[in-house]
Chain A
Amino acid sequence: MRIGVITFPGSLDDVDAARAVRLAGAEPVALWHADHDLRDVDAVVLPGGFSYGDYLRAGAIAARAPLMQDVVDRARQGMPVLGICNGFQVLCEAGLLPGALTRNSHLHFRNRDQRLRIERADTAWTSAYTSGQEIVVPVKNGEGRYVAAPDELERLEGEGRVAVRYVGGNPNGSLRDVAGVTSEDGRVVGLMPHPEHAVEDLTGPSTDGLGFFTSVLKAVVAA
């Protein structure tokens, strides 16, 4: 099982995402933003960081990288894609996920261990959890406030597209406490919190994040 991790200029958590993939039992494959080459991967992770220094809008420039065209094409055919933090921002900018991420309502960068509720346990990236399960993983962002137009939010809620929600405190002012959303087919998931930072007892607040990376193994085998 080969899972790609894309490095854009300014990607930071690519080493962490690769480690999480490895700990989940898959082979992490480094992908370079400027190549038109997905290197035969079965799924792709867009890691956290500050691609292009957040210039223009967070994720806006990376969404137009050459490799992203390949990612979008393959995602529309069902390849699982996970966007974490800046990766989530890139997926929204690339049109694979609805909504947008804006400046935290309190205007500070915030890093804390965050409780989350898994709302959808049937996506390619969350099947290792049970619906309603609470987990703790780090959140760290300055532009993590999820927003969408009111009718779009209603639609997303109605379609069950909110995959993960903040509980026990909303760290950034996200509407409806949305921490992550999924595509209609459940193959593309984006979230602001960092499951890849909660994969080892030694370095994380928990190992609750590993489930995202083990989930996709099943999703790929089943596909």
Chain B
Amino acid sequence: MTQGLSDLDTGPGPLSHRLDTVALAESTADVEQPYAELGLANDEYARIRDILGRRPTTAELAMYSVMWSEHCSYKSSKVHLRRFGDLPPSEHLLVGIGENAGVVDVGDGYAVTFKVESHNHPSYVEPYQGAATGVGGIVRDILTMGARPVAVMDSLRFGRADAPDTARVLPGVVAGVGGYGNCLGLPNVGGELLFDECYAGNPLVNALCVGVMRHEDVRLAKAEGVGNRVVLFGARTGGDGIGGVSVLASETFDQEGPAKRPSVQVGDPFTEKLLIEACLEIFAQDLVTGIQDLGGAGLSCATSELASAGTGGMHVDLDRVPLRDSTLTPAEILMSESQERMCAIVEPAKVDAFLAVCRKWDVLATVIGEVTAGDRLTVDWHGERIVDVPPRTVAHEGPVYERPMRRPAELDALQADDPAALPRPATPEELTAHWLAVVASPDGADKTWVTEQYDRYVRGNTVLAQPDDAGVVRIDEESHRGIALALDGNARFARLDPYAGAQLNLAEAYRNVAVTGARPLAVTNCLNFGSPEEPEVMWQFAEAVRGLADACRDLGLPVTGGNVSLYNQTGDVAINPTPVIGVLGVHDDVRDRVPTGWRAAGETVLLLGETRPEFGGSAWASVVHGHLGGRPPAVDLEAERALGQLLGALGREGLVTSAHDLADGGLAQALTESALRYGTGATLRLAADVFTALFSESGARAVVTTADPEAVRTTAEWAGVAVTELGTTGGDVLAVEGVGELPLAELRAAWTATLPALFGSPEVTVGSVPAGTVPTS
């Protein structure tokens, strides 16, 4: 891929051993250029020639090719994503879609910025570095807004848990997420881990970061003020990640073709930690007028976006960029996705102070250019002009496609395949067996194998983390103000109905935030789909966006930004549509947070919300019958809102001791997790139809415990939420009428054994290893 570029700069042919300058491009209009290998379509290349009035130089071609890639330009998704921008304005939204991340007012002068980003393709090619740099990238996005990053989350999906390739990819991804986040000092407070055959060859690695700042500290990515300096700081530029966005993230994997490993970036979290501290000190001293991180498309992206969002003019002397590899060509430098780099716009009078802060933190910083009058982005290489473009055409006015869409022909048959026809457990023994199968399935099982590899304590503000339903982080030690975050994305529902599926995912994340007692405030998303060139995939995408936008309008929540990952498919097999939705909530006082686990005996267990016989896309149908069909559960956003308000009120008034959202695996899963959290059982009587009570996945439900059931009933009546008494906590069994007694020890054994059995048990014997023994595990 990069071969084509190198050929042009240094290889044989009419341009051999000559730098491809603007002057040369003007005089050699007919040179053949490797635009197709760089991922540009014929008409896109023609448009570049049209914009420039000549052929692009090699460096310009590199810039356009990465910036017009699907990953950077959103060319297939843009027309649909406008629905999010069209939502009614929210009083809480300080900065909306378009910047590196949206910013939300959470009260007392605090602002929070949060975003999810995918690093799917790199994580398949090189699991550890792919996942690690995914965390690094999203953290820089948050930092760029002026915020101190305070926590991360990760939403992971792999092929079948017992597939050999999953054993290759998963441990590396988990170690990469942990290795980078732990070393940055950011607590990992939650996420998802799910398995499905559709992700074989296309694992999904979505990372979220959240940051906190004061309102007045918000920074934007634009270059203003003629004469202001362009400063590149952080790591040196190397040959890693060249073409990451165009080669990896914007194409479908196929069986043939060269290894794409060199397109994956290599992360250095230590440098990023220094970059974070240096940036925060730079912000505190008010030393920048604009700032942008270098992620996908590297310098091409940072310079063109800064210039485009500003007054338009910028000049860069590319030979000033510090390199790790002195043989890199100018085009490669422009495309490199080397990590841990930032670009700032600094007034000349503040440059010395800026460089001093960087020196203190051992961060390399170099003035590489300045903001110029006019509206051209120009780049020189040892005094020769190699780029002269209108930056808006690179960054913001790329191609936009209205791709053809078609409802998948198979959908009618899929929806008609109703799980009502599946054999149901009839005896207590069968009910017990299905219960254990669901909670011991890789999706339902205890995730400690993963979360033990993540630091959840660092910074000392983690109030709730996995396995609780949402991460809760204190942001002020005096006022106890805090935030709650959840990430959810049920792809089975989205496969059966992408419109409803996206809404159900939003509802689940909303519920997960609400059960902690938080007030949901804002939404972000990471939309993982197959190839947009397939009309069926495009239809799924459009439906999911429409569903999410409609649901946000109904719940009064703004979408603060998001990320789209397309081409998640191998050959013509696409992943299930996977819209992962993040919801941010606020706690006025985190001391009121409600955990998921039962602690005390003698408390009343109540089910909030109504249960209908809904099994389409359920964990039960999938685990027990390997079945995916029918309709997903009905969406009832009014009921979700009522439940959310009720949970908030119960939390504030201290009326409940625990609350757990009902989702995948229904009540069976929720009871298991609540009981095992602190080892407290319960004696329960469910509805007459025990099977439906246990395994239905109807939305708008939660199970709570309370010492004052009457007060909960009264509050629920006010909120319009149905309440069903299930029983009383206590003992070391879950005793359920019609099912029998499930000893917690047996339940725990089933629930905890799955992941260690699949991915290795990192246990150490008590009494320790003899001296001199070589570690073997």
Residues of A in contact with B (beta carbons under 8 Å apart): 9-10, 12-13, 15-16, 19, 48-50, 52-55, 103-112, 138, 140, 142, 145, 147-150, 153, 168-177, 194, 196-197, 199-200, 202-204
On chain B, the residues within 8 Å of A109 by CB distance are 175, 178-179, 182, 452-455
A10 CA to B591 CA in the complex, in Å? 31
Closest 7 CB pairs of A and B: A53-B270, A12-B185, A106-B762, A197-B457, A16-B460, A105-B775, A106-B777
On chain B, the residues within 8 Å of A174 by CB distance are 768
Question: Is the Cβ of B460 less than 8 Å from the Cβ of A15?
Answer: yes
Residues of B in contact with A (beta carbons under 8 Å apart): 175, 178-179, 182-185, 268-271, 273-274, 361-362, 451-463, 474, 477, 590-591, 762-769, 771-772, 775-777
Question: Is the Cβ of A194 less than 8 Å from the Cβ of B775?
Answer: no
A142 CA to B762 CA in the complex, in Å? 12
> Assuming A9-B274, A12-B458, is B768 touching A173 (CB within 8 A)?
yes
On chain A, the residues within 8 Å of B455 by CB distance are 109, 111, 140
Question: Is the Cβ of B457 less than 8 Å from the Cβ of A111?
Answer: yes
A222 CA to B370 CA in the complex, in Å? 61
Of A105, A107, A145, most B-chain CB atoms within 10 Å:
A105
Question: Is the Cβ of B764 less than 8 Å from the Cβ of A169?
Answer: yes
Residue of A nearest to B477 (CB): A19
A12 CA to B456 CA in the complex, in Å? 12
Residue of B nearest to A167 (CB): B766
Question: Is the Cβ of A110 less than 8 Å from the Cβ of B460?
Answer: no
Of B175, B183, B184, B474, most A-chain CB atoms within 10 Å:
B183
A110 CA to B273 CA in the complex, in Å? 21
Question: Is the Cβ of B460 less than 8 Å from the Cβ of A106?
Answer: no
On chain A, the residues within 8 Å of B590 by CB distance are 202
| Cβ of A23 to closest chain B Cβ, rounded Å | 10
Question: Is the Cβ of B775 less than 8 Å from the Cβ of A103?
Answer: yes
Residue of A nearest to B183 (CB): A50
Question: Is the Cβ of A203 less than 8 Å from the Cβ of B462?
Answer: yes
5 new A-B contacts, CB < 8 A, other than A50-B182, A109-B175, are A53-B268, A106-B763, A110-B762, A153-B771, A177-B768
Question: Is the Cβ of A203 less than 8 Å from the Cβ of B463?
Answer: yes
A212 CA to B764 CA in the complex, in Å? 27
Question: Is the Cβ of A110 less than 8 Å from the Cβ of B775?
Answer: no
Chain A to chain B contacts (Cβ below 8 Å), 15 pairs: A12-B183, A16-B459, A50-B269, A105-B769, A105-B775, A106-B762, A110-B452, A170-B767, A173-B769, A173-B775, A177-B767, A200-B460, A202-B590, A203-B457, A203-B462
| Cβ of A22 to closest chain B Cβ, rounded Å | 10
Question: Is the Cβ of A169 less than 8 Å from the Cβ of B453?
Answer: no
A48 CA to B590 CA in the complex, in Å? 26
| Cβ of A189 to closest chain B Cβ, rounded Å | 20
> Assuming A49-B185, A110-B453, A202-B590, is B764 touching A105 (CB within 8 A)?
yes
Question: Is the Cβ of B764 less than 8 Å from the Cβ of A53?
Answer: no
On chain A, the residues within 8 Å of B769 by CB distance are 105, 173, 175
Of A13, A52, A149, most B-chain CB atoms within 10 Å:
A13
A168 CA to B763 CA in the complex, in Å? 12
| Cβ of B535 to closest chain A Cβ, rounded Å | 45
A147 CA to B768 CA in the complex, in Å? 11
On chain B, the residues within 8 Å of A54 by CB distance are 183, 270
Question: Is the Cβ of B766 less than 8 Å from the Cβ of A105?
Answer: no
| Cβ of B151 to closest chain A Cβ, rounded Å | 13
Question: Is the Cβ of A19 less than 8 Å from the Cβ of B460?
Answer: yes
> Assuming A13-B185, A170-B768, is B762 touching A108 (CB within 8 A)?
yes
A146 CA to B463 CA in the complex, in Å? 30
| Cβ of A82 to closest chain B Cβ, rounded Å | 16
| Cβ of A205 to closest chain B Cβ, rounded Å | 9
- A175: which of B270, B456, B768 is its contact (CB, 8 Å)? B768
- B771: which of A147, A170, A199 is its contact (CB, 8 Å)? A147
| Cβ of A59 to closest chain B Cβ, rounded Å | 14
Question: Is the Cβ of B457 less than 8 Å from the Cβ of A140?
Answer: yes
Residue of A nearest to B771 (CB): A150
| Cβ of B476 to closest chain A Cβ, rounded Å | 13
On chain A, the residues within 8 Å of B772 by CB distance are 150
On chain B, the residues within 8 Å of A176 by CB distance are 768
| Cβ of A111 to closest chain B Cβ, rounded Å | 5
A36 CA to B172 CA in the complex, in Å? 41
Residue of A nearest to B179 (CB): A109
| Cβ of A25 to closest chain B Cβ, rounded Å | 16
A204 CA to B454 CA in the complex, in Å? 16
| Cβ of B599 to closest chain A Cβ, rounded Å | 13
On chain A, the residues within 8 Å of B765 by CB distance are 170
> Assuming A9-B362, A203-B474, is B456 touching A111 (CB within 8 A)?
yes
A106 CA to B449 CA in the complex, in Å? 12
| Cβ of B175 to closest chain A Cβ, rounded Å | 8
| Cβ of A124 to closest chain B Cβ, rounded Å | 23
Residue of A nearest to B456 (CB): A111
On chain A, the residues within 8 Å of B184 by CB distance are 12
Residue of A nearest to B185 (CB): A12
A9 CA to B275 CA in the complex, in Å? 11
A120 CA to B353 CA in the complex, in Å? 49
Question: Is the Cβ of B456 less than 8 Å from the Cβ of A173?
Answer: no
| Cβ of B382 to closest chain A Cβ, rounded Å | 34
| Cβ of B664 to closest chain A Cβ, rounded Å | 25
- B764: which of A149, A153, A171 is its contact (CB, 8 Å)? A171
| Cβ of A106 to closest chain B Cβ, rounded Å | 3
| Cβ of B768 to closest chain A Cβ, rounded Å | 5
Residue of A nearest to B590 (CB): A202
On chain B, the residues within 8 Å of A13 by CB distance are 185, 458, 460
Question: Is the Cβ of B461 less than 8 Å from the Cβ of A203?
Answer: yes
On chain A, the residues within 8 Å of B273 by CB distance are 9-10, 12, 50, 53
A110 CA to B771 CA in the complex, in Å? 21
A55 CA to B270 CA in the complex, in Å? 9
| Cβ of A144 to closest chain B Cβ, rounded Å | 11
Residue of A nearest to B271 (CB): A53
On chain B, the residues within 8 Å of A145 by CB distance are 775
Question: Is the Cβ of A10 less than 8 Å from the Cβ of B771?
Answer: no
| Cβ of B72 to closest chain A Cβ, rounded Å | 30
On chain A, the residues within 8 Å of B763 by CB distance are 106
A141 CA to B454 CA in the complex, in Å? 10
| Cβ of B172 to closest chain A Cβ, rounded Å | 12
Question: Is the Cβ of B270 less than 8 Å from the Cβ of A106?
Answer: no
